[in-house]
């Protein structure tokens, strides 16, 4: 169990569905990437592997586990010799569509720098603080919510079948999602072990979800996360601490339009050429 401490005081316990603790090889840097399509680089530290796919550290894939349907993890497949995306697995990452979501398109939403910004350095105005254990030592993670994220999530929950898909580790991201999603918007939560490790990046392979790709949208600030399916993406600007940011509000009309499409590709294509 992970004890979650609210920034304003008090706290409660929330179950962690991260499964077996992931062994992190702190010093095994695979490559130095300068591609501007990746997320804005933070200072490197032993804590970096807890966050998203822009990190360059190798992490051994954890065992597949699932608790309360929060994770539907499968072992990350390897790419073939020519670097092509792997074939979809026989078993899907997502469960069957909930009755309340029948007829809705599926939207896959990123966490870090899309909905929140997290730091191991103290943040005076953190919305909440989540303790994370690393090698037997508990470290405090300070989390800032992106402006208008509450309105965004509630509206997205009305319009779509929503799935949280992050390249971060479950033992960090799961308690953050517990605090962030007070309305049960996310029908499923997928973490790093559900990504495909491809050419140094943790990629979110939408073909593994078990949904028709023409009905799937991914919302992510990192193009590296959706390199297998760029035609399904609604890119967002990375967010760190700008409290005047209105990106999530500005995108709502776009998503209202996409929610009415039986095939999202045409509208997404028209948005890209603008």
| Residues with catalytic function | 110, 112
- 3-state SS, the chain, equals CEEEEECCCCEEEECCCCCCCCCEEEEEECCCCCCCCCCCCCCCCCCHHHCCCCCCEEECCCCCCCCCCCCCCCCCCCCCCCCCCCCCCCCCCCCCCCHHHCCCCEEEECCECCCEEEECCCCCCCCEEEEEEECCEEEEEEEEECCCHHHHHHHHHHHCEEEEECCCCHHHHHHHHHHHCCCCCEEEEECHHHCEEECCEEECCHHHCCCCHHHEEEEECCHHHHCCCHHHEEECCCCCCCCCCCHHHHHHHHHHHHCCCCCCHHHHHHHHCC
CA distance 214 to 274: 21
């Amino acid at each position: 169990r992970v004890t979650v401490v609210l920034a304003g005081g008090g706290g409660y316990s929330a179950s962690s569905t991260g499964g077996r603790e992931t062994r992190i090889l702190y010093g095994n840097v695979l490559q130095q990437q300068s591609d501007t399509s990746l997320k804005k680089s933070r200072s490197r530290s032993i804590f970096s592997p807890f966050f998203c796919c822009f990190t360059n550290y190798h992490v051994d894939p954890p065992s597949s586990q699932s608790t309360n349907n929060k994770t539907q993890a499968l072992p990350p497949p390897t790419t073939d010799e020519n670097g092509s995306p792997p074939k979809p697995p026989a078993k899907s990452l997502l469960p069957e569509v909930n009755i309340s979501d029948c007829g809705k398109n599926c939207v896959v939403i990123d966490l870090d720098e899309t909905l929140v910004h997290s730091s191991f350095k103290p943040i005076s105005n953190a919305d909440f603080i989540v303790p994370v254990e690393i090698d037997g030592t508990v470290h405090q993670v300070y989390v800032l919510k992106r402006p208008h994220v509450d309105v965004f999530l509630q509206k997205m929950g009305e319009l779509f079948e929503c799935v949280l898909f992050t390249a971060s580790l479950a033992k960090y991201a799961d308690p953050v999602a517990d605090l962030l999603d007070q309305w049960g918007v996310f029908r499923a939560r997928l973490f790093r072990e559900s990504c495909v490790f491809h050419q140094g990046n943790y990629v979110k392979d939408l073909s593994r979800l078990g949904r028709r790709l023409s009905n799937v949208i991914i919302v992510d600030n990192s193009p590296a996360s959706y390199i297998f399916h760029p035609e399904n993406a609604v890119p967002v600007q990375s967010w760190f601490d700008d409290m005047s940011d209105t990106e999530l509000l500005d995108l709502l009309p776009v998503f209202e339009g996409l929610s009415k499409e039986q095939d999202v590709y045409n509208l997404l294509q028209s948005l890209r050429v603008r």
